[in-house]
Structure 1
Amino acid sequence: MVTQTDVLVIGGGATGTGIARDLALRGVDVVLAERDGLSAGASGRSHGLLHSGARYAESDPEGALECLEENRILRDVAGACVRETGGLFVQRSEDDPEYFEEKRAACEEIGIPVDVIDGDAAREAVPGLSTEVERAMWVPDAVVVPSRLVAANAADAREHGARILPHSPVASMAVANGRVESVTLERGDGATDGTSTEETIEPTYVVNAAGAHAGRIAAMAGVDVEMRPTRGVMVSVEHDGLEPVLNRCRDPDDGDIIVPHDGQVVLGTTSVPVDDPDDYETADWELEGTISECATMLPAVADAERVRTWWGVRPLYEPEEAEHGGRGISRGFHVLEHPDEGAENFASVVGGKLTTYRRMAEATADLVADRLGVDAACTTAERELTGAADPETLDEFVREFDGQGPTDSDLIGSPTPGA
């Protein structure tokens, strides 16, 4: 089977589905291919924090402002994909008070709303908060439900003409005369018996949005994209009643974020380089260290029942990491073209974070539209996502696209019995 299309997007996470939606809304014919179910990579294996920008305010003001702006947009357009919680940066007695003041000043300079409260007020807002917390700072963090967000973008793209193909890994690419001429997919379509068929896509343009696997996909097109993925552990434990996201107010380190869910909290995370995003070790010290460090903010989590544990792999871009390094640096994104490497109709979008996926998609779609001669503008910042107002509709999209990730499996509703 041979299919011709304007654009083939490879990768079914938030960025890939966001690109497909953006382009489809501009009237571009799009096919999206994902090797597994949607959200199988970093999007569905994150801690689910919708950043306010405060985490990066002093280290990367530009990236922090991007987070703030995208946070506000998603609250408007993503409906039940976002949970309004607020966030607290908490300072323990041993934490550097100058760091707290630097972060507050940086947030105020950027325009991130902050409200400083003393330890007693913080414990009133968060029952069980450590007695060692001396003060805290309210910021507009929130929680994102990534499985819903990705599925809603895919459904919206499909509603506007895109084809969404989960379980369709790239088998090969044919490159000639400086262009990717065709891409062959293995179409499993979720078959449990291992059977598959092949479909050859003949695209005018190809977008590589494969996250931590971007380097492997780029190599199939004969180009080089240097990735430097790192793994991070998340553990969900039983804990009822936490409302705001908790952030430790210190230089970013292991175990400094607690994300509230309904009756559970997600503790995270670590940052350990990996060579292969599909095959990497997981270490008990990451799990135990994350729980121990998070317990310095909320002591009850140390002995809480563990519900599930997972690791995610960040799609970090090697040149940026080599230049900046460090966990305090905002995870910026890059849209790379490859005409000098013999693939003039091939672009890779790398780096970034879940909070800024829509902006990454807009930048990529702007580039692709320009190369295709399409003059339609981006509208994703103003248009509500399909089904955003109805959690049941969103959860049905998740099931349809096999898009359930471990981050939010406790928040996605089960099918109605007999349905």
Structure 2
Amino acid sequence: MRTTTVLVIGGGATGTGIARDLALRGVDATLVERGGLGSGTSGRSHGLLHSGARYAESDRVGAEECIEESRILKTIAGECIRDTGGLFVQLTGDDPEYFEEKRSACEAVGIPTETLDDEAVRDRVPEIAADVERAMEVPDAVIYPSRLVAANAADARDHGATIHTHAPVEAIAADDGRVQHVTVGGSVDERIEAEYVVNATGAWAEQLAEMADLDVKMKPTRGVMLSVEYDGLGPVLNRARDPDDGDIIIPHEGEVVLGTTSVEVDDPDEYPREDWEIERTVEECAAMLPPVADAPTVRTWWGVRPLYAPDEDERGGRGISRGFFRLDHADDGVENAVSVVGGKLTTYRQMAESTADLVCERLGVDAESETADRRLPGADDPDRLDEFVATFDAQGETDAGVVGRNQE
């Protein structure tokens, strides 16, 4: 039996962020991840660091979280981020009222914007669609999740946390209102006894919670991404319309990532991957940037969003909210466990801070979060960041064309 003060289950951005936050507060933390770090949702995203503009008119709180966290990450994450800027592109046939509503909402939230006419858009993106009418410039950026996750884990480790990859949870023993111990296989192959347990497994949170007879209802959705050969795109491109398939193009140094679809799945591990999703995504993205229609495909992957079912059922519709939820299982009769679900990669640090706040409150730890002001290790050194990626087997599909490029 191993012992730790806090056991964090899940090695994506949120889980490693929680381990880092706790370690910086002096809390003994152990993290276990069934694969390499970021092998779930974090490493299989489209790599967009949201400015909040996508959610401004539909979810003001979520948009405010995004712009605040985006600014923090641009300060602390260095070479985990590429500050490209972004454009919301209005094509002929797109509703001009939607454009105006989004611009007004961004202004209300505090997201800076600038409206570009068709000529100015072509100056920024020479091969933009011929029927472009205007665009709104916003402070979107590109994020390299493999580096981000690995740097969080490295900082956690350097401040006393223990990080175990390829260590799947096999069973959770809950009795007398507490999680008594967690059986971990793979590289650990032992039981772990913790004072507090954090479920940060994202789309898999329902399955993990069931091991402890807890009810966490998730509604995961899959989305396809394609990386295709295309050099020279400067800003992120977003279609200025209600969120739909194929409305985001992300520049990735000689490639662009096209995304995405949204299809509900029953199992985040086993689900169909349909050709129509690929075809529709390419077709819709090509409406903004025509050359991608015939660009050679480098790789194709699907990711699964960790959506919280009660919120999705209440709000309904795609892209309405990507807020996060901290579920204190003391309310369910298990006093030493919490699940954190929902959210997005852009807000991982805030999710981690909120969860660490609850854990510290329960443990009687009087220490504030430092993660908003403390730069990640290796932030200014991409080679060092890529060494972290290799150490924690953190390479994901999103940034495979960028991370480790100079590593032998």
TM-score w.r.t. structure 1 length? Answer: 0.96
Alignment of 1:5-404 (within 5 A): 5-188=4-187, 198-404=189-395
The CA deviation string for residues 121-147 of structure 1, in whole angstroms up to 9 with x for no partner, is 101110100011100010000000000
Q: Distance in 2 between matches of 1:322 and 1:149?
A: 31
Q: For each residue in 1:24-83, what CA deviation from the matched residue of structure 2 results, as whole angstroms up to 9, or x when unmatched?
A: 000000000000000101100000000000000000111101000000000000000000
Deviation larger for 108-117 or 408-417: 408-417
CA distance in 1, matches of 2:195, 2:213: 17
RMSD: 0.9
2:53 alignment partner AA: A
User: What are the Cα deviations for residues 80-109 of structure 1, in whole angstroms up to 9, with x where unaligned?
Assistant: 000010000000010000100000011111
Tell me the equivalent position of 1:193. Answer: none
1:14/1:149 contact within 8 Å kept: yes
Counting matched residue pairs gives 408
1:132 corresponds to which letter in structure 2?
D
Q: Distance in 1 between matches of 2:316 and 2:69?
A: 24
SS at match of 2:196: strand
Unaligned runs of 5+ in 1: 189-196
Aligned partner of residue 187 in structure 1, secondary structure: coil
Asked whether the 8 Å contact 1:207–1:346 carries over to 2, the reply is yes
Structure 1, residues 329-384: CA drift from partner, whole Å, max 9, x if none?
A: 12000000122433110100000000000000000000000000001000100000
Q: State the AA in 2 paired with 1:365.
A: A
Q: SS at 1:406's partner residue?
A: coil
* Corresponding letter in the other structure for 1:387: G
Contact in 2 for aligned 1:90/1:136 (Cα 8 Å): yes
Deviation per residue, 1:262-311 (Å, 9 max, x gap) = 11000000000000000000100000000000000000000000110000
CA distance 1:175–1:253, shift in 2 (3 Å): same
- The one-letter code matched in structure 2 to 1:28 is V
Name the SS for the 1:37 alignment partner: coil
Deviation, 1:175, is: 1.3
Match of 1:194 in 2: none
Report the AA paired with residue 129 of structure 1: I
Q: Deviations over 1:177-219 (max 9, x none)?
A: 110011111033xxxxxxxx62211100000000110001101
Per mean C-alpha deviation after superposition, the further-off stretch among 167-176 and 85-94 is 167-176
Runs of 4+ in 1 over 3 A off after TM superposition: 414-417
**Is the Cα–Cα contact under 8 Å of residues 205 and 216 in structure 2 kept in the other structure?**
yes
Distance 1:364 1:416 in 2: 35
Q: Specify which of 388, 400, 403 is matched with residue 412 of structure 1.
A: 403
**Structure 2 stretches of 5 or more lacking a match?**
none
SS at match of 2:191: strand
2:379 is matched by which residue type in structure 1?
Answer: A
Question: How far is 1:171 from its partner?
Answer: 1.1
Q: Distance in 2 between matches of 1:328 and 1:96?
A: 17
Tell whether the 8 Å contact from 1:237 to 1:304 is kept in structure 2 after alignment. yes
- Contact 1:64–1:330 at 8 Å: present in 2 too? no
Q: Which amino acid aligns with 1:302?
A: A
Measure, in 2, the Cα distance between the counterparts of 1:93 and 1:339. Answer: 53
Change in CA separation of 1:416 and 1:61 when aligned onto 2, cut-off 3 Å: closer
Contact 1:222 1:343 in 2 (8 A): no
Report the counterpart of residue 191 of structure 1 in structure 2.
none
Task: Report the alpha carbon displacement of residue 389 of structure 1 after superposing the two structures with TM.
Answer: 1.1
2:172, 2:254 → 1: CA distance? 47
